[in-house]
Structures are given as C-alpha cells and as structure tokens.
Amino acid sequence: MRIVGARVIDPTSGTDEIRELSIGDRAGTIDAAGLIATPGFIDLHTHLREPGFEESETIADGARAALRGGFTTVCCMPNTEPVLDAPGLLEEVRERAAAAKAARVLPIGSITRARKGVALSDMAELADAGAVAFSDDGAPLQDARLMRYALEYARATGRVIADHAQDAVLAANGVMHEGEASALLGLPGIPSAAEETAIARDLALARLTGGRVHIAHVSTARGVALVRAAKREGVPVTCEVTPHHLALTDDWVAGDRTFAWDRRNGSAAAAPYDTATKVNPPLRPRADIEALWQGLRDGTIDAIATDHAPHASTYKDVEYDQAAFGISGLETALSVLLDAAGAGWIDLGVLIERLTVGPARCFGLDAPSLARDVVLIDPDAEWTVAIDALISRGKNTPLLGRRMGGRVVAAFVEGEQRLE
C-alpha cells in the first residue's frame, strides 16, 4: 500500500517531513494529505482481563480498542484468572490475539505463582513461551528478597521486571492521593512515600543484581528524581508514565475537570467522588504532574504507557472506597497527549518517540518499522468520548462526555491494514 501526502514523523531517524510510505505488498494508494503518519504505538501496560474477567474486557475487544487508539502492539498484564504464570496460558493468549487480527499482543508473565508474592513463577519457562517481561502488577511484590531473586532471573532470561512500585503497608486502604483533596473529601489517602520507598528499594536491588527493572506508572516527583539519579549512576532502569497521571490532578476526585495544562476554559466541574477517577497509583497534585512532564521531556521517563484498566460497571457503580482501581485508557491516550502538545507542554516528535521507540527500548522489543506497523492520525478530527464511541468494554473514564481532538483513521500491523 502506498501512502502519499502524509506528514511522516519517524522517531528512529528523527525526521519529520511530507513523504511517501510503502507498507506491505498489497496494491493501492491512500491519499493522506493533512494526516500524520507515525510508527504504530507500543503500550507496555495493558490489562486485557481475559481469561477470567471477560465482562470487563476480552482480548479481541482490547486489541481492537488498542488499534483505535493507535497502539499496534500491546503488552498485556498477567493479573487474569487464572494468572498468566504458566506457558500454556501465554500460548492461549497469543492464539486468541492472533485470531482477533487487531493489535499484536505480547503477554507479560507473573513474577510469582498466582501473583501471591510467595514463590517465583518458572520465569525461564515463561520467557521461552514468549513472556516479554515479568510483573505482579496490581499486587506489588512486598518481599525484597524475592524481588532480588526475580531480578536475578530477569537478568538470566534477558527480560525486564515491570514493577508496580508501591509499599502495600503504607498504601494500606487508601483510595486516592493523600493530601489536601483527600482531607477535604474525607477519603483515606495513599502517601507519595508508598511509591518513593518502593522505587528506592527496587533501584537498590537492580543495582545489586544487574537485573533490569522497569518502573511502571511513575506518578510522583520524587519517584522521577530517584530514577533520574539511578540512571546517571548506570543502574539498569527504565520508566513509564500514563496519560492520566500526566493530565489529571487529584482535584479530579473532587470534581475538577481541567487538564493540568489547560486553564483556558475551566471545563465544567463534575460531581465529586466519581469512581472513574479512582486509579492506582492515584492521581497526584500539580507539582508532581509538572515533574512527570519534565522527566518525560528530558528522557528520564522512557515511555508513555496507558495502564488501560477496563472494568465492567458493576465494579465501578459503588461507593468510592469500594470501587475497583483503574481507568480505561487505550482510546483516549492519543487525544489527551495531543492536547498537551498543542498547549506546548511537549514537542510532537518527542511525544511520538515516547510512544514507539522509547517503549521498544524498555522491553528490548524490535524497533518499530514504518514499513510494517503504521498509524495514520487526523490531527484535526474531533470526537466525543462516549460509551458508544469506545470499543473497549471498559467505559470507566472520567473523560466521558468530553470533546477531544485527534483521531487515528487507519492502522497497519505487519503490513496489513487492520483499521480503516
């Protein structure tokens, strides 16, 4: 397929120019004047919920939602039921994903058996079966000695530990960031220290073992500072941030609906205690958000990952402290990020790098190729985030009802057009 007239942003060569692209072997031409072409995005952190929680998401629907969001590759977290802690389960995920013919799905194996934090999974077997990384995401590994061993296996297998860095004892029964907003709302808080102490511990263990640690969804200013210092020292660490942590302050729990960079129109406030704002790690205050952007721009943060966490409404239509953690994020990520770029918070080329080459580097994946995996973006298209507009079964996003700009209008995976 020939694509003509697009503005092609190629983060591998650092070029940004109008030129022709040739993808796959099929004949045909797409007139892409006015569109942006980039390599397909890679999401290092997606929850697909299958097997076990198909009412919240399926592999097929999640992979289709990914493509709609511009992600041609997603790495899926193992917190399914059963947990992805055996080679046969990884194989099943890969087969179902292949049948869906949407985004490529790369499974992440669990660090510990059934994610119980007690005994390691057979990490070597899982790596052989195609695990691209290991994680106990959602159930942060509390046992430092076990994490040490996990990092040693990660090193031996050439894989990465994707680390939900959080001290569970400190986080306790918190449901949002511990600060002014939580005090006002009377909700139990999760202190920033719960993240900071866990990152510090795991950086020390990466230094000790030489195993690679990837800090998932960093959300605090001091977390970013710890990673920055460790990188300078040569500790094998990479790091990701989510669009919601980049855009939404903890005031969103109280009903604010203004993006961190947007003070132009002060969007209409919503009711407080909207469970769609409940996410772990929690939304943080503006000072943290500014530090996250600084880290993203200077390369301390290597990748933007969605932490797409779809939930059926039964898990969210309950009291705030009873609701499940998580935001459905695959389909809104690009629009949110383009809004930030439009406000001057990041250069578009850097943004695309953090969605493509950056994540590939974190997990040691093949570099994205403009000959195989490509997305076409209409930067001027507008759409409204609505239940019917979302392909994902998870409609749990505090952006529902919001008018957004930027839309993926075509996506190619392995040379084949899978979204048109």
Structure tokens belonging to residue 149 = 């061993």
Q: Which is nearer to Zn ion, 164 or 402 (CB)?
A: 164
DSSP for residue 384 = E
Per the listing, tokens 């973006």 go with 377
Whether 395 and 65 have beta carbons less than 8 Å apart is answered as: no
Q: Which is nearer to Zn ion, 21 or 48 (CB)?
A: 48
Evaluate the CA torsion angle 333, 198, 280, 163 in order and state its sign: positive
Q: Give the contact letters, 87-126, x = binds to Zn ion (CB under 5 A), - = no.
A: ----------------------------------------
Site for Zn ion in 179-238 (CB under 5 A): none
Site for Zn ion in 289-328 (CB under 5 A): none
Stretch that binds Zn ion, among 118-126, 133-141, 167-175, 328-336 (CB under 5 A): 133-141
Site for Zn ion in 252-281 (CB under 5 A): none
First to last CA, the chain: 13
| Helix/strand/coil percentages in the chain, nearest 5 | 35, 20, 45
Catalytic pick among 61, 167, 202, 307 = 307
Q: Which is nearer to Zn ion, 60 or 206 (CB)?
A: 206
Tell me whether residue 307 is one of the annotated catalytic residues: yes
Considering the rule CB under 5 A, would residue 137 count as an interface residue with Zn ion?
yes
The Cα 248–Cα 283 span in angstroms is: 6
Which among 403, 415, 333, 407 is positioned nearest to 374, based on CA atoms? 415
- Smallest distance from the beta carbon of 334 to Zn ion, in angstroms? 21
Stretch that binds Zn ion, among 158-166, 181-189, 268-276, 336-344 (CB under 5 A): 158-166
Whether 198 and 170 have beta carbons less than 8 Å apart is answered as: no
- Smallest distance from the beta carbon of 141 to Zn ion, in angstroms? 12
- Smallest distance from the beta carbon of 307 to Zn ion, in angstroms? 6
Considering the rule CB under 5 A, would residue 50 count as an interface residue with Zn ion?
no
- Smallest distance from the beta carbon of 217 to Zn ion, in angstroms? 6
Q: How many residues bind Zn ion (CB under 5 A)?
A: 2
Evaluate the CA torsion angle 404, 410, 415, 417 in order and state its sign: positive
Whether 161 and 133 have beta carbons less than 8 Å apart is answered as: yes
Q: Which is nearer to Zn ion, 135 or 392 (CB)?
A: 135
The one-letter code for the residue type at 195 is: E
Q: Give the contact letters, 163-182, x = binds to Zn ion (CB under 5 A), - = no.
A: -x------------------
Whether 306 and 45 have beta carbons less than 8 Å apart is answered as: yes
Count the Cβ atoms, other than its own, within 10 Å of residue 87: 17
Whether 140 and 116 have beta carbons less than 8 Å apart is answered as: no
Count the Cβ atoms, other than its own, within 10 Å of residue 186: 7
- Smallest distance from the beta carbon of 164 to Zn ion, in angstroms? 4
- The three-state secondary structure class of 292 is helix
Q: Which is nearer to Zn ion, 84 or 370 (CB)?
A: 84
Stretch that binds Zn ion, among 117-125, 156-164, 172-180, 283-291 (CB under 5 A): 156-164
Structure tokens belonging to residue 112 = 């510990």
- Smallest distance from the beta carbon of 44 to Zn ion, in angstroms? 11
Q: Which is nearer to Zn ion, 164 or 278 (CB)?
A: 164
Q: Which is nearer to Zn ion, 164 or 245 (CB)?
A: 164
- Smallest distance from the beta carbon of 406 to Zn ion, in angstroms? 26
- Smallest distance from the beta carbon of 137 to Zn ion, in angstroms? 4
Which among 368, 379, 341 is positioned nearest to 12, based on CA atoms? 368
Name the closest residue to Zn ion (Cβ).
Answer: 164
Give residues with Cβ within 8 angstroms of 219, minimum separation 6. Answer: 195, 241, 242, 245, 281, 282, 284, 288, 292
Q: Which is nearer to Zn ion, 164 or 395 (CB)?
A: 164
Structure tokens belonging to residue 84 = 């992805």
Q: Point out which residues pair with 376 in neighbouring strands.
A: 37, 410
Q: Which residues bind Zn ion (CB under 5 A)?
A: 137, 164
Which residues are marked as active site? 307
